[in-house]
Amino acid sequence: MPVALSQIRNLLLPGLWALTGRYDQLPAVRKQIFKERKSNMALEQSTSMRYIAQALIKQEGAPTSADNQPGQRFTYNQTHNELGVMFAITRKAIDDNLYKTEFGPSVMGLNEAFDRTNEAFAADVLNSGFVLNPAIGGDNQPLFSAAHPVDGGSFSNMATPAASLNETSLLNAQVAVNANFRDNANQRMNAKPRRLIIPPQLEPVAIRLLKTELRPGTANNDVNAILSTQGGIPDGYLVWNYLTSMFAWFLQTNQDGFVYMNRVPYETDMSVEFSTDNLLVKGYQRNSYSFNEPRCAYGSNPTS
């Protein structure tokens, strides 16, 4: 059923001094977290490799020891979503509308609708990050797990047990990222925290933790160790309204891993239906948000 005169009857009369209903949109936080890559395939894959671990002691006159274990370990899959939405509006509704610049085909909110959808899909990578999605593949663990497999062991990128955001839990997370992350050969690596990602409800806590030079919540003159431990959190914090938990919080690290695949960029089209004179307007996009490296983040998912 197209948008007809009956749905815009007030817009047919002169004298309206205002039309309301359009509001400022939330910022596109996803663009600060996900690295965009152009996609040319329906299914995109990336492979995580294992490289040579360590040099070994060689005895005089003895053969050099070999490390022949390097090779691929995990394959991550990324399948695109096909996004689309359209609307139809009658010719009479266009012709007789006196307020086309405020409510017309060009300002119906198509761009904003796609932006909100993309924000929700991107945030779902974190919202569902504690639940295994077998379609992604990889190391057969969710994004956040205490048991990501590596050769001869495992590493954790989640708080165990889950802890609310506070000075202790954030410092523990900063240390854990650097001290506990391992590469696929189970070797130490230079992972560092970079950015704190939080829902709106945790912003006051983040401000107290990251915006003071002295230790938060005490009367002591101790320095705020959060600002310097493992290089601090240089990119500060990001509030993401599309996070569904009021209590979960995340540290993005210096390891790339959040991937936005752009298969078909956002496009719009319009045409007039010959038999009805209705104007048809649609938007279309193909893309996907996922991860291909669990070391890109650390998460905590408390219930309070």
Indicate the pLDDT class of residue 202, thresholds 50, 70 and 90. Answer: very high
Q: What is residue 122's predicted lDDT score, i.e. its pLDDT?
A: 97
The two tokens of residue 137 are: 């593949």
Q: What is residue 209's predicted lDDT score, i.e. its pLDDT?
A: 95
Residue 235 backbone dihedrals phi, psi, to 5 degrees: -95, 10
**H or E element at residue 208:** helix 203-210
Q: Is 5's pLDDT higher than 80?
A: no
Q: Give percent above pLDDT 90 in the chain.
A: 74
Q: Is 120's pLDDT higher than 80?
A: yes
On average, the pLDDT of the chain sits at 92
The two tokens of residue 71 are: 């090779």
Q: What is residue 35's predicted lDDT score, i.e. its pLDDT?
A: 94
**H or E element at residue 178:** helix 167-180
> Within a 10 A sphere around the Cβ of 296, how many other Cβ atoms?
22
Q: What is residue 94's predicted lDDT score, i.e. its pLDDT?
A: 86
Q: Is 232's pLDDT higher than 90?
A: yes
Q: How many helices (H) and strands (E) does the chain have?
A: 5, 12
Q: What is residue 125's predicted lDDT score, i.e. its pLDDT?
A: 97
Domain boundaries, the chain: 31-48+70-297
Q: What is residue 8's predicted lDDT score, i.e. its pLDDT?
A: 78
pLDDT digits (tens, 9 = 90+) for 14-44: 888 788 888 889 999 999 999 999 999 999 9
Residue type, 196: L
Bridge partners (DSSP) of residue 301 are: none
Peptide linkage before 161 cis (omega within 30 of 0) = yes
pLDDT digits (tens, 9 = 90+) for 42-84: 999 999 999 899 898 999 999 999 989 899 999 999 999 999 9
Residue type, 79: T
- Which CATH number does the domain 31-48+70-297 belong to among 3.90.1690, 3.10.450, 1.10.150, 3.30.420? 3.90.1690
